[in-house]
Structure 1
Amino acid sequence: MADRSAESQEQNWEEKNAKLRVLAEAMERYEREGNPELFDERAEEERSTVRSKALVLLNHRMRSEKELRNRLLGYDYPPEVIDAVIEDLISQRLIDDSLFASEWVRQRHRKGKSRAVLDRELKDKGIADAERAEALAQVDDGDERSMAQAVAEKKARSISQVPADYAERNKHLRRIVGALARRGFAQHLSMEIAIAALEARIDELGGEQG
């Protein structure tokens, strides 16, 4: 069952990587050839500065539609020109909120972010409910638990000796729970996993000192 799940996840990542390659190729073609079918010469000249800045930002990393628009507005470009450029970039699939959300979840979950935190981050970036749900579906309950365990175990490894008393043990426990809470893991899950990680580390240290 686990093998099929891993195989399915690998296939999904391969499909997303293929989409990213198509996106990169489209960007290169766009920069090289432009899009004369959509713009006449006068309109191209008016929008060229905004489009050039947008492409620089997109070359740096993928961005959501809202994120890119806010960055361009920060340069005081006319909003109507920004809208026109963004509409064109969407038609060229150089902006793709669905793909952006999927990649955001995949990459940041690997860094220990919980689904709750990832959902808030995507919402802040203007990703619609349906697209957020689709992206977050990559992370199931088992993935969430495994990531929380990895975070807790890493924090527990910072304990260098068996706690001297109950108060010191609780201090270590609070630190592990805090590490999980900062990443947005649910309270009941955090406490359960923090206790298990702490006890495992104490047993490990006890064996070493014995």
Structure 2
Amino acid sequence: MAGRRGARSGRGWDAIPPRAGTDQPDGGTPGEPARGESRRGAPAQPAQTESERAREICLRQLATRPRTRAELAKALARKEISEEVISEVLDRYDEVGIIDDAAFARAWVSSRHHGRGLARRALANELRQRGVDAEVASEALESVDDESEAETARALVDRKLRTATGTPEAIFRRLVGMLARKGYPAGIAIRAVKDALAARDEEAAEFADDVDADALADQADPLA
């Protein structure tokens, strides 16, 4: 019995390895990570600086679509980034061309005019809502002239007219209203619908003949 006890004692209880997760060479509490390490054993990551966080927010915003400086500034402010850091980060983005309000405005006008058929009035409103400077917006809107607006308005009407139902008068009012919501002045909207109805069928043509586009345009307030 003594020999067995001696053998058992000879191995020593301290020779039994500790269970996984309890070995703390630095004297830490069992189950807790060692100092300077994460719970998975990787070195702890240093905290982000405010500038790093601001850049990360901007890149996430820009990943979905181009943004104006004002849009990015609002996004950063919502995340409680200081004004100083906002200016610092966005000034740098301006310098390297990551944000460019003039290029944004030109691309926005081209896309929304040709893709959605928006007129200058609606486009100007959208650019203003996105914080584009009035002078910058005005330069971008120069690419859409009266002729382009008239052609686009007529194309919109022709497309809608293919499936339009109802009396010529009801169709007229509905299509003029559609163009108004897209920012077209009363004169352009009324003339586009009048001309399209005149080319549709005999009943619509008779109605169109009775429409005095100039008089209606003069009487109407801005429809948009």
Q: What TM-score do the two structures reach when normalised by structure 1? A: 0.69
Query: How far apart, CA to CA, are the structure 1 residues paired with 2:74 and 2:201?
Result: 49
Aligned length: 158
Query: How far apart, CA to CA, are the structure 1 residues paired with 2:203 and 2:87?
Result: 59
Contact 2:70 2:130 in 1 (8 A): yes
Quote the residue 1:130 is aligned against: 135
Q: What is the CA-CA distance between 1:201 and the residue it aligns to?
A: 2.4
Contact 1:157 1:201 in 2 (8 A): no
Q: What is the CA-CA distance between 1:113 and the residue it aligns to?
A: 0.5
Q: What is the CA-CA distance between 1:193 and the residue it aligns to?
A: 0.8
The partner residue of 1:84 within 81, 85, 88 is 88
Query: How far apart, CA to CA, are the structure 2 residues paired with 1:74 and 1:204?
Result: 57
Q: Which runs of structure 1 show a deviation greater than 4 angstroms over 4 or more consecutive aligned residues?
A: 203-206
Is 1:112 aligned to residue 112 of structure 2?
no
Q: 1:90 to 1:202 in 2, by over 3 A?
A: same
Quote the residue 1:66 is aligned against: 70
Q: 1:86 to 1:198 in 2, by over 3 A?
A: same
Query: 1:146 is aligned with what amino acid?
Result: E
Q: Which structure is larger by alpha-carbon Rg, 1 or 2? A: 2
Q: What is the CA-CA distance between 1:205 and the residue it aligns to?
A: 9.3
Q: What is the CA-CA distance between 1:175 and the residue it aligns to?
A: 0.6
Q: What is the CA-CA distance between 1:204 and the residue it aligns to?
A: 10
Q: What is the CA-CA distance between 1:79 and the residue it aligns to?
A: 2.5
Q: What is the CA-CA distance between 1:189 and the residue it aligns to?
A: 1.0
Structure 2's unaligned 5+ residue stretches are 1-47, 206-224
Residues 47-70 of structure 1: CA deviation (Å, up to 9, x unaligned): 001101101211221111111111
CA RMSD of aligned residues (A): 2.2
Query: 1:125 is aligned with what amino acid?
Result: R
Residues 130-165 of structure 1: CA deviation (Å, up to 9, x unaligned): 2112111111221111111111112211225xx6xx
Q: What is the CA-CA distance between 1:203 and the residue it aligns to?
A: 4.8
Structure with more of its chain in helix, by fraction: 1
Quote the residue 2:196 is aligned against: 197
Higher RCO structure (Cα 8 Å, ≥6 apart): 1
Structure 1 segment 4-15 matched on structure 2, within 5 A? none
Q: What is the CA-CA distance between 1:122 and the residue it aligns to?
A: 1.0
Query: How far apart, CA to CA, are the structure 1 residues paired with 2:203 and 2:155?
Result: 16
Q: Percent identity?
A: 33
Residues 84-123 of structure 1: CA deviation (Å, up to 9, x unaligned): 1111111111110110000000100011100111111112
Q: 1:96 to 1:204 in 2, by over 3 A?
A: farther
Query: 2:178 is aligned with what amino acid?
Result: A
SS in 1 for 2:143: coil
Contact 2:168 2:204 in 1 (8 A): no
Q: 1:204 to 1:75 in 2, by over 3 A?
A: farther
Contact 1:112 1:147 in 2 (8 A): yes
